[in-house]
């Protein structure tokens, strides 16, 4: 499969049963070629609804149950890659998975910990940078500056639309572009160290660590940082969460956020069916 624009996205959850069935058939054919699969998923906006405040995001019961079932499948490795810190997202999911925090700058598994070279060099600059932005934006109601371990986020979900340009200008004027890069997402400005690393590189690092190929991957995400995954592994089963429309995506498939639990359950059925047919070694 090759990267596709939004006009070519295949809606897995389409009301057209024929189209939905054709999409699942394509996915099954792709996955059936491999004895072990890797699921990479974002958290906010993918596993969880976007909340008014970052701390309010929760994993719904059905999604948690599906992830727990995936944990029990030994032919699947699951990783949650988030803009949150590893500790934050791991606490919200509460399962023994691989976690990538700060957009993959830090990756933790049951038997390993990895920090991207260069990330630690700018880590100590984050608190002062956050304080500087807070001081300059305190007059903007609803602005929220969140400092994390290796990155920071400036949220404007509750900022009046006419004040957003001012907030973004302050971010651009305050951040040292030689040390950090700014990436805009859903009502958030992400501040990340310039280390040439994102979720896409995290996906490849995890695959390489397991001597796996991109074709073994399933990537799900809803934001521009997740497009890093889709572009880095274009031959994976890439699924963009729509809100409700995306002008452009490197993903092949799309879903709405409320269809994610059913998609995960469908993956479990596909995997178990392949095991039963002995395409997977038991």
One-character DSSP codes across 31-55: HTT-SSEEEEE-SBTTTBPPPSSGG
Core vs surface per residue 164-197: b (16+ CB within 10 A) or e: beebbebbeebbeeeebbebebeebbbbbbebeb
Residue 76 bridge partners (DSSP) = 37
Q: Which residues contact 56 (CB under 8 A, 6 or more apart)?
A: none
Residue 42 appears among annotated catalytic residues: yes
Give residues with Cβ within 8 angstroms of 32, minimum separation 6.
274, 279
> Rounded CA gap, 213 and 232, in Å?
12
CB 248 within 8 A of CB 70: no
Helices 17-31 and 260-276, axial angle in degrees (round to 10):
50
Residue 170 makes CB contacts below 8 A (sequence gap 6+) with 133, 136, 137
Residues 6+ apart with CB under 8 A from 206: 38, 40, 77, 79, 98, 100, 107
Spatial distance between the Cα atoms of 39 and 66, rounded to a whole number of angstroms: 12
One of 11, 16, 42, 44 is an active-site residue; which one?
Answer: 42
Q: What is the DSSP letter of 110?
A: T
Q: Are 174 and 129 in contact (CB under 8 A)?
A: yes
Enumerate the active-site residues: 42
């Amino acid at each position: 499969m090759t990267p596709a624009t939004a006009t070519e996205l295949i809606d897995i959850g389409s009301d057209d049963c024929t189209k939905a069935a054709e999409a699942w058939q394509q996915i099954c054919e792709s996955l059936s070629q491999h004895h072990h699969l890797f699921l990479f998923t974002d958290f906010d906006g993918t596993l969880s609804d976007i909340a008014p405040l970052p701390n309010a995001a929760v994993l719904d019961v059905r999604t948690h149950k599906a992830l727990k079932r995936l944990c029990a499948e030994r032919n699947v490795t699951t990783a949650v890659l988030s803009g949150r810190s590893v500790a934050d997202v791991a606490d919200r999911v509460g399962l023994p998975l691989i976690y990538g925090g700060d957009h993959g700058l830090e990756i933790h598994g049951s038997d390993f910990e990895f920090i991207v070279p260069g990330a630690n060099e700018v880590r100590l600059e984050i608190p002062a940078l956050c304080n500087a932005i807070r001081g300059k934006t305190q007059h903007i109601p609803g602005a929220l500056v969140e400092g994390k371990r290796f990155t920071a986020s400036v949220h404007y979900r509750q900022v009046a639309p006419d004040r957003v340009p001012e907030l973004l200008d302050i971010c651009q004027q305050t951040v040292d572009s030689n040390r950090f890069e700014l990436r805009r997402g859903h009502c958030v400005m992400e501040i990340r160290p310039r280390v040439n690393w994102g979720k896409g590189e995290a996906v490849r690092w995890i695959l390489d660590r397991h001597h796996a190929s991109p074709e073994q991957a399933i990537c799900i995400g809803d934001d521009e940082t997740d497009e890093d995954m889709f572009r880095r592994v274009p031959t994976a089963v890439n699924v963009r969460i729509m809100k409700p429309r995306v002008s452009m995506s490197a993903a092949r498939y799309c879903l709405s956020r409320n269809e994610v639990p059913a998609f995960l359950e469908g993956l479990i059925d596909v995997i178990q069916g392949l095991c039963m047919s002995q395409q997977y070694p038991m």
